Amino acid sequence: MATPAPAHPTTERLTVMGAGLVGSLLSLYLARRGHAVEVFERRGDPRRAGFQEGRSINLALSDRGWKALGGVGVANDIRQVGIPMSGRVMHDVQGNLTRQPYGHDGQAIYSVNRGHLNRRLLDLAEGQTGVTFNFGQQCLGIDLKTKELRLRDTETQEERTAPYTRLFGTDGAFSAVRSALQRTDRFDYSQDFLDYGYKELTIAAGPGGAWQIEKNALHIWPRGQYLMIALPNLDGSFNATLFFPYEGAESFAALQTPAEVAAFFDRVFPDAVPLMPALTEEFFAHPTGSLLTIKCFPWKYNDDVLLLGDAAHAIVPFYGQGMNAGFEDCTVLNALFDEYGDSAWDTIFAEFQAERKPNNDAMADLALYNFVEMRDRVADPVFLLQKKIEAKISGQFPGQWAPLYSQVTFSDTPYAEALAAGQRQDAIMARLMPHIQAEADYDQPTVQALVQQEMAARH
Amino acid sequence: MATPAPAHPTTERLTVMGAGLVGSLLSLYLARRGHAVEVFERRGDPRRAGFQEGRSINLALSDRGWKALGGVGVANDIRQVGIPMSGRVMHDVQGNLTRQPYGHDGQAIYSVNRGHLNRRLLDLAEGQTGVTFNFGQQCLGIDLKTKELRLRDTETQEERTAPYTRLFGTDGAFSAVRSALQRTDRFDYSQDFLDYGYKELTIAAGPGGAWQIEKNALHIWPRGQYLMIALPNLDGSFNATLFFPYEGAESFAALQTPAEVAAFFDRVFPDAVPLMPALTEEFFAHPTGSLLTIKCFPWKYNDDVLLLGDAAHAIVPFYGQGMNAGFEDCTVLNALFDEYGDSAWDTIFAEFQAERKPNNDAMADLALYNFVEMRDRVADPVFLLQKKIEAKISGQFPGQWAPLYSQVTFSDTPYAEALAAGQRQDAIMARLMPHIQAEADYDQPTVQALVQQEMAARH
């Protein structure tokens, strides 16, 4: 472990709770600013042999994430181990494929291995002067008045208290730091679960580590009330995830035996089944994960405690923005330090939550909306036609029309602005689409006149 | 304390967490059914000298509450110490009074002293065979798997564990039982605070214990963005409550000195100030309470744990239904025992939450709506005229039109049905009122024709 930094007039000893993706990146940002940082993490060190990954194997990194990684100079390093996905490939029940690009040529989201990314960020942070990591430290409670953490060492089971001066809660959706804030007066909080769970499965690599379905795409099997997706891994396999109702005719509750699972997959995902040799074993061996949205406010307690990432705003995964939003928290916090200086804690914490709360609320709504899009609308030819027409408008009016997905994924436009712009554009598309039956219709004079009229009316 | 009841084939030893209003009434219901009941309560015994009341001094009891009290034969007893309030009396800034009856002649809500009611219920429950109360027992946590409570004696500070077989959580808005459930998978939860706090104040009794403003009314000083209310006490005083923004030009934050408080009250509540000799002292001595809505689901954990009352569904106080809703939980649970028998726990718990959840959600929404009505709309002559016209329709079409307030307050119509009926009636009133400028207009042939037409169209 690195040696603590010497005392410095504008720096402080800071405490970070949680060394996941956001916690490790935040520690790196704080350390680069010259602060001494002590990090506590409930789980073991993921760089040690025998560490069990807890959650999704891969994640989709997009522009906001890259910007945050770029801010500490690690973007290129991570890009080497990411797989660009330039569009969605939809698989229908007959195995027919439909491709929908995510943006224009050259734009892509990246499938990145969560464990690799986390370990790389930990290495970088730990290599920084003044950062110390303490793994296997479960936070049992926090005394906000005396500013003390109650910790339990998960190996020795010994309990102890540790004081803090300033505490950053990056301990995820089930945050212990947020739990303490929840018991303070006037703390608004909600946790909302979907009636859907998820199950991680594997599409195997082909001979010689070949990808058996298109490598540079996010694959979707949209089935109306449920869906399966798959993201590529470097070893030729794909990490597939089934998002599926807990109860009902087609649900986890209805699939109780390997034979039932096999029959169901054969019927609804026939083109995937031959690529999933471990399907039934994995289905029963892997846990069923739940999907939740967490909203709360305030995210700060005086100028002592600040929540970031999933601890402040966990969202469902359907827009691929959970990690990106948490990383953007780091970018924004860092910019506030630049603006107000490293000791204006009260102002920085207040500005941070004022800026990030409406944006992460908007992202939470977008993520829920995208569940319907991914499981249902992407299978609708009219929807796909609309996406093509939107791309044409965007090309015809550069800088005046960015599709909602692009604003969320390929820009750092604040999420709330992206959502509002997307709603305005949706209203326009709802008026245009009745006049358009095919892609070529876009060039018809009557349609062009309507488009010109709509674009003029926007200003 | 009473001796535990002998073992009985259809009864069990039950645990109740919380001996407030709902907990003590529930214990009485359970004991009357022959169950042995052990009750734990964080606070001390309110019947012992020196007990400090924690919350509002008086409450408004209405039909649902009376029905629940009647079910254990204690309604008449409580009615002796309640003060009927047959309507609202609005006080404007000039001190002019406007009266609005709550229902028809003979209908009233009752101002009841919380402490008295709680102590009476405790006496009755403790007098029942098989009930034991344990006061000063703080619940630190619950192990839902091993079914153990972790308790701390608030006098000795000793900690211990206590096993339970079946646990009823009636421990209020900040329920420790619900806290344990919140950490289970797929538990939806929200706590939402208003940007308003409240302050309890006193309108003094007159000479000889006389009531200085009308005794049999709930007094309201509606001021648009805030309000004060007052409920009568038996000793001639009134318990007044100011509901007031935390921040802003007129807010708790803006009243920092006795002079500021006095000037503010003189300006906006001039007729009340002479009756409030301890105003400025109380304003700074009494805490500012917060106002929150809690929603969660499920309310049960297997057939081991059930939440009732504020622990399951805390609401803001503006409809006077918080206690009534919690008492109605007891009525409904008791009816389910009657229907399914005393050992069908799984069915009873499942039916209880299925029946009560939508109704208490509706009540939460009604309570928030009534805040606007009480602080603002009751000062509007058009609103008061509409209430009079509604009373006329109700009289003209008996059994076909009950004003929303009457359905909530003077019936046991499920809250969700009352809300839906109220919304349908509101739509009708929105169409009728443009044709009505005064009470007498109701009898005009054109208006009568419209009324007949609307009533016919309802079926």
Per residue in A371-422, pLDDT (tens digit) is 998 998 988 999 999 999 999 999 999 889 999 999 999 999 999 999 999 9
Indicate the average pLDDT of chain A: 94
Average pLDDT over residues A101-113: 95
User: What pLDDT score was predicted for residue A458?
Assistant: 80
| Total of domains in chain B | 3
Residue whose entry in the numeric block shows the structure tokens 């929840």: A182
For residue A141, the chain B residues in CB contact (below 8 A) are none
Residue A187 domain-assigned (yes or no): yes
Residue A22 domain-assigned (yes or no): yes
Q: Which among A174, A182, A188 has CB closest to B192?
A: A188
Nearest-by-CA chain B residue for A175: B183
* pLDDT at A431 exceeding the cut of 90: yes
Q: Which among B186, B191, B192 has CB closest to A193?
A: B186
Average pLDDT over residues A122-133: 94
Contact check, Cβ <8 Å, A189/B188? no
Residue A96 domain-assigned (yes or no): no
Q: B62 with B135, same domain?
A: yes
Structure tokens at A367: 């993520």
User: What pLDDT score was predicted for residue A182?
Assistant: 96
Q: A345 with A308, same domain?
A: yes
Residue A330 domain-assigned (yes or no): yes
Alpha-carbon span A158 to A62, nearest angstrom:
41
3-state helix/strand/coil string of chain A = CCCCCCCCCCCCEEEEECCCHHHHHHHHHHHHCCCEEEEECCCCCCCCCCCCCCCCCEEEECHHHHHHHHCCCCHHHHHCCCEEECEEEEECCCCCEEEEECCCCCCCEEEEEHHHHHHHHHHHHHCCCCEEEECCEEEEEEECCCCEEEEEECCCCCEEEEECCEEEECCCCCCHHHHHHHCCCCCEEEEEEEEEEEEEEEECCCHHHCCCCCCCCEEEEECCCCEEEEEECCCCCEEEEEEEECCCCCCHHHCCCHHHHHHHHHHHCCCCHHHCCCHHHHHHHCCCEEEEEEEEECCEECCCEEECCHHHHCCCHHHCCHHHHHHHHHHHHHHHHHHHCCCCHHHHHHHHHHHHHHHHHHHHHHHHHHHHHHHCHHHCHHHHHHHHHHHHHHHHCCCCCCCHHHHHHCCCCCHHHHHHHHHHHHHHHHHHHHHCCCHHHHHCHHHHHHHHHHHHHCC
Q: B405 with B437, same domain?
A: yes
User: What pLDDT score was predicted for residue A50?
Assistant: 73
Contact check, Cβ <8 Å, A188/B193? yes
- How far A367 CA lies from chain B's nearest CA (Å)? 18
Can you list the residues of chain B whose pLDDT is less than 50?
A: 1-9
Q: Most B CBs within 10 Å: which of A150, A186, A198, A290, as the mutation test of the B interface?
A: A186
**Residue B186 in contact with partner chain A when CB distance is under 8 A:** yes
Alpha-carbon torsion (A437, A438, A442, A445), positive or negative? negative
Instruction: Say which residues have a Cβ less than 8 Å from residue A274's Cβ, sequence separation at least 6.
Output: none
Judge contact between A434 and A446, C-beta under 8 A: no
Instruction: Give the domain-ending residue among A235, A269, A290.
Output: A290
Judge contact between A21 and A121, C-beta under 8 A: yes
Structure tokens at A348: 């920085």
Q: B23 with B159, same domain?
A: yes
Q: Most A CBs within 10 Å: which of B174, B175, B182, B191, as the mutation test of the A interface?
A: B191
User: What pLDDT score was predicted for residue B8?
Assistant: 46
Instruction: Say which residues have a Cβ less than 8 Å from residue B33's Cβ, sequence separation at least 6.
Output: B11, B334, B337, B342
Residue whose entry in the numeric block shows the structure tokens 């409550």: B241
Q: pLDDT confidence of A56, banded at 50, 70, 90?
A: low
Q: B385 with B241, same domain?
A: no
Instruction: Give the domain-ending residue among A347, A371, A395.
Output: A371
Contact check, Cβ <8 Å, B188/A185? no
CATH code of the domain containing A121: 3.50.50.60
Instruction: Say which residues have a Cβ less than 8 Å from residue B276's Cβ, sequence separation at least 6.
Output: B201, B202, B203, B204, B240, B265, B282
Contact check, Cβ <8 Å, B192/A191? no
Q: pLDDT confidence of A12, banded at 50, 70, 90?
A: confident
Q: B20 with B165, same domain?
A: yes
User: What pLDDT score was predicted for residue A1?
Assistant: 41
Give B356-385 pLDDT, tens digit per residue. Answer: 999 999 999 999 999 999 998 988 999 999
Residue A439 domain-assigned (yes or no): yes
Q: A41 with A186, same domain?
A: yes
Q: B265 with B201, same domain?
A: yes
User: What pLDDT score was predicted for residue A187?
Assistant: 98
Q: B144 with B77, same domain?
A: yes
Residue A56 domain-assigned (yes or no): yes
Nearest-by-CA chain A residue for B140: A141
Restricting to B residues 220-249, those with a Cβ less than 8 Å away from any Cβ of A are 246
Q: A150 with A267, same domain?
A: no
Judge contact between B36 and B27, C-beta under 8 A: no
Q: A284 with A389, same domain?
A: no
List the one residue out of B329, B332, B241, B328 whose CA is nearest residue B288.
Answer: B241
Alpha-carbon span A91 to A374, nearest angstrom:
12
Q: A264 with A347, same domain?
A: no
For residue A279, the number of C-alpha atoms closer than 13 Å in the C-beta half-sphere is 22
User: What pLDDT score was predicted for residue B25?
Assistant: 98
Range of the domain at B30: 13-82+111-191+293-371
Contact check, Cβ <8 Å, B191/A186? no
* pLDDT at A8 exceeding the cut of 70: no
User: What pLDDT score was predicted for residue B4?
Assistant: 44
Edge-first strand order for the sheet with A137-143 is A137-143, A148-153, A159-163
Torsion angle defined by CA atoms of residues A62, A68, A70 and A74, in that order, rounded to the nearest 10 degrees: -90
Alpha-carbon span B434 to B325, nearest angstrom:
35
Residue B4 domain-assigned (yes or no): no
User: What pLDDT score was predicted for residue B370?
Assistant: 94
Residue B452 domain-assigned (yes or no): yes
* pLDDT at A7 exceeding the cut of 50: no
* pLDDT at A54 exceeding the cut of 70: no
Contact check, Cβ <8 Å, B190/A189? yes
For residue B259, give the H/E element and its range. Answer: helix B258-268
Per-residue CA distances from A363 to A335, A405, B324 (Å): 21, 12, 39
Instruction: Give the domain-ending residue among A349, A371, A393.
Output: A371
**Residue A192 in contact with partner chain B when CB distance is under 8 A:** yes
In this structure, are strands B289-297 and A36-40 parallel, antiparallel, or unpaired?
unpaired
